[in-house]
Amino acid sequence: MINEKLNQTVEDIIAKAEYNPKSQTVNYTLAIIMGGLIFLSFVLPLVFGGSTNLDYFTFTITFIAIFAGLSLSLNMEVGFLGLPNFGKIGFIAVGAYSYILFVNSGVNEILSFIFAGISAGVFGIILTLPSLRLKEDYFAIVTIVVGEIIRETVRNQHQLGGFEGFAVPLPIDRLYPSNTTFLQNILLNNNSISIILITLILIFLYFIYLNQKYSKIYAVPYSISEPFVTKGGIQEEVENGLINFTIFLGIIVIVLNFFGSFGGSPNGAIDLSILILLILLFFQRNYKFALLRKYDIHWDFLKTIIVFMLYIIFSYVLGFVFPVNSLSTTLSNWYNMLLAVGVLLISYKLIEDIVKSPFGRTMRAFRDDDTSAISVGKSLLGYRIKGLALSNMFAGFFGVLLAYQVGSITPDGYTPTTTFTLYIMIIVGGTANNIGAIFGAFLIQLLFQAASKMGDLQNVGGIFAGLRFDFVNFSLIVVGVVLILFLIFAPEGIFPEQKNQNERYLKLLKQLSLDTEGSKSYLVRILSFFMSIAGDNSFRHQNLRGLEFTENTDEKSSNYEEEMK
C-alpha cells in the first residue's frame, strides 16, 4: 500500500519534471580532463622533487582552501546576487588591513579576526549604491576602481603601513614553546580535549548505529537521519542536552586554552580543528530556526560530522606520518592549513545554507529579473545590502587567512590580478554553484602551486634542474587559454548551476520506484549520501517529503514497521 503510494508520487514527480526540459548535468568529461591534467602537474614535483614535500603539500592545500573561500564569496556576489564585483581584492585588503590594525592596537587575534570580517562586510555595503544606478559592465568598472583606490590609499598613507606594509605574526608563535615538537604536543598535552573528543565520537557512533537500525525499515534515504527527529519525548531531549553540553564544554575549554589561561595546552593545531568542529556542530544543531526547514538540518548535520571525523583523523595520521623536525615553518604551515580548511568548511556550509534558503532564492530572483522580484514586494536595496555585507564578510575572513599564509600585508599584494584569478576560478568551476567555485579554485591553485614548485626545483635538483623555462608564467598563459575555451565551449563551467528538478534525480527516483526495499534502497542511500557531499542536494529527502504522501510522521513510521514485518 505504501509502495503504491510511493510509486504514484514518483510518477507525479516524473510527470512534473518532464515539463522542465533543462536538466542539470555536470560536465564530467571536462572535470576529469582538466582535473586529471592539473593533478598530474601537482604530482610531478611531489615525485621528482626534493625533500620539502610536506611543505609543498600543506602550502598547496592552504592556498586552495583560501582561494576556494574567496571564490565562494565572489560566487555569492556574481553568481547569486548578479553583481559583478571586480574590486574583490579591495575588500580582501580591507579585511587584512583591519585585522593587522586591530592586532597592532592590542586587540587579541580572535576578536581582530572577527572585526576584520565585519569591517570588510560594512565596506561591501558601499557597493550597493553604484549597483542601483549602473548596468553590469559599468558596475564592474566602478568596483575595480574602488579596489584600486583602496590600494592606492593604503600605499600612500604611512599610518596604514605605507609602501612597506606590515608583517603578520602568527598566533601560533605565541602558542608553541620552541623546544617541543608537534608530535610531543599531541602525545603529552592533550588533556581535556581527548576526553571531549572521545565522548563525542562515542555519542555519534551511537547515533550512527541508531540510524542503521532504523533506516532499514524505511524505503527512502531520508531515513538515515530519522531518529534525530522522529523520536520525540524525554529521550531525545536528554540526548540533545548531552550533545549541546559537550559542545559547549569543548568550546569553552579550547578557547581558554587558546589564550593560554587554562593550563596552557599548546597543541594549537589540533585544538583549532576541534574548535571549528564544535562551533560547527553547535551551529548545525541550533540555527535551524533561522534558515532552514526542519528536516534539512539533520542530514547535513550527519554529513558534516563524518567529514570532520575524517578531517581530524587525517590531521592526526599525517602528524604521525610526517614527523615534524623543522618546527617553526612546517608547523605554522600545518597550522595555517588546518585553520584555512576549517574556516573554508564552515563558510561553505553557511554560504550553501544561505543560498538555499528563501533568502538565497530571493537573491537569485533579483539576479534573473529584478523588476518582477520588486513587483512581488521584495526590497532590492535590502537584499543587496545584506548580500553584499555577507559575501564581503567572508572575503574579509579569508583576506586575513591569506595574510597569514603570505606572512605580510603590502599594498602591492592586492592588485586586480587576484580578482581576475578568482573570476577564472568561478567560471571554470561553474558560476552560481558553490561546489563549482571550490572546484575551480582547487584546479587553478593546484596549477599555480605546481608551477611555482617546478620553478623552484629548477634551482634545486631532480628532473627540473637546469631547465630554463618559466613555469609560473606559463601557467598563467594556460589559465588564460582555459578561461577562453570555457567561455566559448562550456560557459556554464564544470558544475553548472543546479536546477531543482533534474535528470539524475529522476533516474534515481525511477530506480527507487522499481525497488523500494532491501539492498537496492540501501545502495541508493549510500549513493545519495555521496552525492550530497558532492553538493548535489537535489536527491534529498525533502523532495519526497515535500509531496506530503503522509502527514503524520509517527503514524507513518509505525505503518512502515508493520509493512516490514
Partner 1 sequence: MTDAIDLDEELLYPEEVNIDQAIAEMRKRKELIYSLLIISVFILVSSYLLTVVDLYRQNYVAQVYFTLVKASQFILVSVGLTLSIRVKKFANFAHAELLTVGLYTVVAINDLNLNLFFNNLLSLLFFAFIMGGLIAILSELLVFGPLAKRKATPLSLMVASIGVGLIIRHVIQQFLPGGGVPVIMVLPLPSFWLSIGNFLLTVPLVGSFLASPFNDITTFGIFGSSKTLTVSNIGVISILSMVIMVLTLQFLFKKTYLGISMRATSDDEDLSEISGINTQSITYWTWFISGGITAFGGVLLFSSGAVVPFAGFSQLLIIFAVVILGGFDSFEGTLISGFIIAGIQTLTIMINGIIANNVPPGSPLSYTVFWNPSADWSNVGPFLMIIVVLIFRPRGIFGLVDPGSKL
Which residue type sits at 230?
Answer: T
Cα–Cα distance for residue pair 479/524, rounded to 1 Å: 38
Distance CA 318, CA 343 (A): 20
What is the number of other CB atoms lying within 10 angstroms of the CB of residue 558?
11
Q: Which is nearer to partner 1, 407 or 480 (CB)?
A: 480
Q: Which of 48, 359, 420, 529 binds partner 1 (CB under 8 A)?
A: 420
d(CA 290, CA 523): 33
| Residue (of 426, 416, 480) closest to 448 by Cα position | 480
Among the listed ranges 103-111, 220-228, 479-487, 534-542, the one in contact with partner 1 (CB under 8 A) is 479-487
CB 259 within 8 A of CB 332: no
Rule CB under 8 A: choose which of 474, 534, 562, 564 binds partner 1: 474
Kind and range of the H or E run holding 345: helix 327-356
Q: Least distance in Å: CB of 56 to partner 1?
A: 23
Contact flag: residue 176 with partner 1 (CB under 8 A): no
Q: Does 381 bind partner 1 (CB under 8 A)?
A: no
| Closest CB 438 distance from partner 1, rounded Å | 19
- Selected range binding partner 1 among 257-265, 329-337, 417-425, 518-526, rule: CB under 8 A: 417-425
Closest to partner 1 by CB, 257 or 475: 475
424 forms part of the interface with partner 1 (CB under 8 A): yes
164 binds partner 1 (CB under 8 A): no
Residue 422 touches partner 1, criterion: CB under 8 A: no
Q: How many CB atoms lie within 10 A of CB 165?
A: 21
Q: Which stretch binds partner 1 (CB under 8 A): 50-58, 97-105, 146-154, 525-533?
A: 146-154
460 makes contact with partner 1 (CB under 8 A): no
Which of 130-138, 198-206, 229-237, 550-558 is the region at the interface with partner 1 (rule: CB under 8 A)? 130-138
The minimum distance between CB 390 and partner 1, in angstroms, equals 20
If one asks whether residue 480 binds partner 1 (CB under 8 A), the answer comes out as yes
Q: Where are the beta strands (DSSP E) in 173-304?
A: none
What is the sign, positive or negative, of the torsion defined by CA atoms of 334, 335, 337, 338? positive
Beta carbon nearer to partner 1, 131 or 225? 131
Nearest-CA neighbor of 269 among 369, 390, 183, 151? 183
Contact 412, 64 (CB under 8 A): no
What does the buried/exposed string (b/e) look like for 480-495 if buried means 16 or more CB atoms within 10 Å of the residue's CB?
eebbeebeeebebbbb
Those residues whose C-beta lies under 8 Å from the C-beta of residue 505, and which sit 6 or more positions away, are 17, 538, 539, 543
How far is residue 556's CA from residue 550's CA, in Å, rounded to a whole number?
7
According to the binding rule CB under 8 A, does residue 138 interact with partner 1? Answer: yes
Q: Which stretch binds partner 1 (CB under 8 A): 226-234, 266-274, 423-431, 536-544?
A: 423-431
Task: Please tell me whether residue 131 binds partner 1 under the rule CB under 8 A.
Answer: yes
Position of cell 578531517? 311
Closest of 41, 39, 56 to residue 456, by C-alpha:
56
- Alpha-carbon distance of 256 to 276, in angstroms, equals 14
Helices (H) and strands (E) in the chain, counts: 25, 2
- The reply to whether 129 sits near partner 1 by the rule CB under 8 A is yes
Among 179, 261, 371, 459, binds partner 1 (CB under 8 A): 371
Which listed residue (11, 12, 18, 136) binds partner 1 by CB under 8 A?
136
Query: Which of 158, 507 has the CB closer to partner 1?
Result: 158
Least distance to partner 1, CB of residue 357, Å: 23
Is there binding between residue 145 and partner 1 (CB under 8 A)? yes
Shortest CB 152 distance to partner 1, Å = 5
| Binding status of residue 487 toward partner 1 by CB under 8 A | yes
For the bound state, the minimum distance from the C-beta of residue 503 to partner 1, rounded and expressed in Å, comes to 24
Distances (CA, A) of 308 to 243, 277, 279, 342: 16, 7, 12, 9
C-beta separation of 87 from 419 below 8 A: yes
* Residues in contact with partner 1, shown as a per-residue x/- string from 338 to 367 under the rule CB under 8 A: ------------------------------
Specify the residue, 129 or 201, whose C-beta has the smaller distance to partner 1.
Answer: 129
Number of residues that bind partner 1 (CB under 8 A): 49
List interacting residues with partner 1 (CB under 8 A).
84, 129-142, 144-146, 148-149, 152-153, 155-158, 162-163, 370-371, 374, 380, 420, 423-424, 427, 470, 473-474, 476-477, 479-481, 483-484, 487-488, 491
